[in-house]
């Protein structure tokens, strides 16, 4: 079982890369796009999401709490790794 991580809407991403600083296991900077990316995530128009291993949940929750735009969400998922 994994967790579903979403950055939505991606257009709101500043990007200050606070998420990358606290949770580099999940978030990486996309210099070309000028936005944060989720490792292995799919870009779906104005949002990005991925299902990742659930042991990374505390890390993602920390990033979500620090995101100045409040655009990172995390939810339990039954699919994925
Ligand atoms: S913390 Fe939020 S606003 Fe900052 S780079 Fe990450 S997703 Fe974008």
Closest-CA residue, ligand 1 atom 5, reads 17
Residue 69 burial by CB count (10 A; 0-12/13-18/19+): exposed, middle or buried?
A: middle
Whichever domain contains 33, its CATH number is 3.30.70.20
Q: How far apart are CA 64 and CA 48, in angstroms?
A: 14
Residue nearest to atom 2 of ligand 1 (CA): 67
9 lines ligand 1 (CB under 6 A): no
Amino acid 45: pLDDT: 87
29: confidence class by pLDDT, cuts 50, 70, 90:
very high
Q: What pLDDT was estimated at residue 1?
A: 78
Beta carbons within 8 Å of 12's beta carbon, 6+ residues apart: 69, 71
For residue range 52-79, list pLDDT tens digits in order: 999 999 999 999 999 999 999 999 976 6
Judge if the beta carbon of residue 19 lies within 6 A of ligand 1: yes
Burial 18-41 (b: 16+ CB within 10 A, else e): bbbebbeebbbbbeeeebbbbeeb
Range of the domain at 13: 2-77
Q: Residue 81 pLDDT > 70, yes or no? A: no
pLDDT of 80 higher than 60: no
Locate all alpha helices (DSSP H) within 5-67, ordered by sequence: 18-22, 57-66
Domain count, the chain: 1
pLDDT at 78: 66
């Amino acid at each position: 079982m994994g967790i579903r991580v979403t950055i939505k809407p991606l257009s709101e991403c500043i990007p200050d890369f606070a998420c990358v600083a606290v949770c580099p296991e999940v978030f990486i900077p996309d210099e070309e796009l000028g936005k944060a990316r989720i490792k292995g995530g799919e870009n779906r128009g104005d949002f990005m999401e991925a299902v990742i291993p659930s042991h990374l949940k505390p890390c993602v929750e920390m990033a979500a709490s620090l995101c100045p735009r409040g655009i990172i969400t995390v939810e339990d998922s039954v699919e994925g790794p």
